[in-house]
Copies of this chain bind each other. A is one copy, B any other.
C-alpha cells in the first residue's frame, strides 16, 4: 500500500496524511491521532526511498570499518550505544567494511555521492589523517570519535587519554615503582600518542629516565599483551609495574606473568585501560585489576546525540568534548617488592 491508496482508503488527502505521519504542527491533533491509528491498523509504512528522494535525506548515518580492525570489541561496544540512541529517531546505521585506507576513502565517496547517508562517523584518527579533509570536501556532515592530531575544526568527542595515563603512571611512581612498562595501542593512532605523552611526562616530572625497551605498541589483542610482557620479563632490569592498553592486552599480560611463575600484584603491578565490556570484567579477575575506565558505550550514546542534532540542522562544527577517565584501584597494584 502506498500513500495514495492509504489516503483514499481512509478518505483523506495525501497531503494531510503525510503531514500527520511526519508530525507537522498544522494538522489537527484529533486528525493526527486518527490517521496514526489507521496507519497502524492497515499497516501502512511510508516508502523510505521515496521519502529520501523527496527530502534529500537518507535517514541513516554511515560508519566504515577496516577489516580486521573494525569489529573489535571496542567498536562493537561503541556501536551498541550509538544504535541505541539513533533508534529513538528511527535513524539507521549503515555499515561498510573495507580492507584499506584507499578503499575507505572510496567508500566515503560512494556513501556521500549517492546520498545513502546523511552523516558519517569517523573513528580512531591517526596522526596524519587525511579522512577529515576528504569528508570536508565531500561536504557531508561528520563527527569524529577520538580527535585529529590538530584538534581540527570539526565536531569530535574524545576521552582524556593523556590524563588517564599520566595519572596512572604518576600513581605507580607514587607507590614506589621506578621501572614501568607500557603496552600501548598502535603507533600512529592519535590516542596512543596521547597516552605515550601522558606516560613520558609523568616519568619526566619525577626525574625518571624513559626507557625505550619498556614501551611496546600493537593491536589490542591478547597475544600482543602476552609477548610484550614476556619481552619485559626477559630484560635484565624488568619493570615492576605495567600499563596495558586494553583489557584484552591485560589478559595476555596476566598469562605471561603466570607462565613466569610470578604473581600479579605481588611481583608485578598492572593497570589496564578498560572500555567497559559486559563480557569481561576487571572486578572478576584474580587478582582484580586496577583500571583507567571510560565507557565506550556511553561515548556511542553521546555521539548519537550529537549526530541527531547535526541532522536537525544545528551547527555543531565547533563541538568538542573531552571526557575524563576514572582511575579505579584494585588488587593488581601494590608497591614494588623491596
Contacts and interface: CB of A to CB of B under 8 A. Distances in A.
A73 interface: yes
Given A71-B79, A279-B221, A255 B96 contact: no
A284 B225 CA distance: 11
A45 B223 contact: no
Interface stretch (A62-70, A191-199, A309-317): A62-70
Interface string A270-312: 0000000011110011100000000000000000000000000
So how many copies of this chain end up in the complex?
2
A179 to B, nearest CB: 25
A84 B79 CA distance: 18
Interface string A65-87: 10110111100110110011001
Contacts of A76: 71-73, 76
Given A248-B279, A252-B284, A281-B222, A97 B84 contact: yes
Given A92-B96, A93-B94, A278-B68, A49 B45 contact: no
Interface in A83-117: 83-84, 87, 90, 92-98, 109-110, 113-116
Interface stretch (A52-60, A169-177, A209-217): A52-60
Given A76-B76, A93-B96, A222-B284, 13 more contacts: A49-B53, A53-B53, A67-B80, A70-B80, A71-B77, A83-B97, A92-B94, A94-B95, A219-B279, A220-B279, A248-B280, A255-B285, A259-B286
10 contacts: A43-B113, A49-B52, A49-B115, A50-B53, A68-B278, A71-B77, A72-B279, A84-B97, A92-B94, A248-B279
